[in-house]
Homo-oligomer: A and B are copies of this chain.
Amino acid sequence: MPVPNPWTRKLEQFDRLPEADRRLLDDLISASRRIGANQDLAAEGEVSHHVHVVLEGCACRYRILPDGRRQITAYLLPGDICDLHVLLLTRMDYSVGTLVPSMVASIPRTILLGITERHPKLTRALWWNTFRDEAIAREWIVMLGRRSAYERLAHLFCELLLRLRIIGAAGDESYVLPVTQAELADTLGLSLVHVNRSLQRLRHEGLIVLEGRSLTITDSERLMAVASFNPSYLHPRSETGRGPPPS
């Protein structure tokens, strides 16, 4: 059996899909394209007719305030859907852009919408995907509202470790950070300068090694404690066992 594409893998975290659904997913992303870093896939305010899926690289959701302040509201890793809500809400209330060179598939919303009428298992997996996105957004609210700069960095690094591990893009304790310090600042609601200093503190305290973009978590135990990181919001597979909760 061939290795499933990242999107299929992601959706099957919820429940095994019928063979027909898996083939369908393969088809939908067959026309993917390679895109450079810092390219917009969709822009705030426009009416969008395509749902985007990241297959390689990394993108983000972000908003820019009238005076130029920017806030990143989500990281989109391989297998993640950038803008699924376009299915039912076509007006974009944020922008989507790549953070590094990426491979992205673009699916007409009418096609996907039609599919949801004939593929209940797949539709349920997409709904699950929506719930998980929302759970991550909630956790970011907590991170921004009630954690210090130091803790926010620790928390974000823990989240990325787990999310990248699931898709096989991280080792036991190291991965390639897909963002610059300026982008970390826009993610964590901090200034660039303060991100830099907080990173140094994480290094000095022996929690991480960060050389260029390669991040190694040298003491994940303590890093998770600093972040008061509780992975349950990612709803890891192991917790519910195989398959979705019984109906």
Chain A interfacial positions (CB closer than 8 Å to B): 14, 45, 61, 63, 65-67, 69-71, 73-74, 84-85, 87-91, 93-94, 109-110, 113-114, 117, 120, 124, 127-128, 130-135, 137-142, 144-147, 186-189, 228, 230, 232-233, 235, 239-240, 244-245, 247
Contact = CB atoms under 8 A, between A and B. Distances in A.
The number of times this chain is found in the oligomer is 2
Given A71-B141, A93-B138, A117-B120, A88 B245 contact: yes
A131 B140 CA distance: 17
A85 B145 contact: no
Q: Across chains A and B, which 3 residue pairs bring their CB atoms closest together, nearest first?
A: A145-B189, A144-B144, A137-B137
A141 B142 contact: no
A81 to B, nearest CB: 12
Contacts of A144: 141, 144-145, 189
A93 B230 CA distance: 9
A85 B187 CA distance: 25
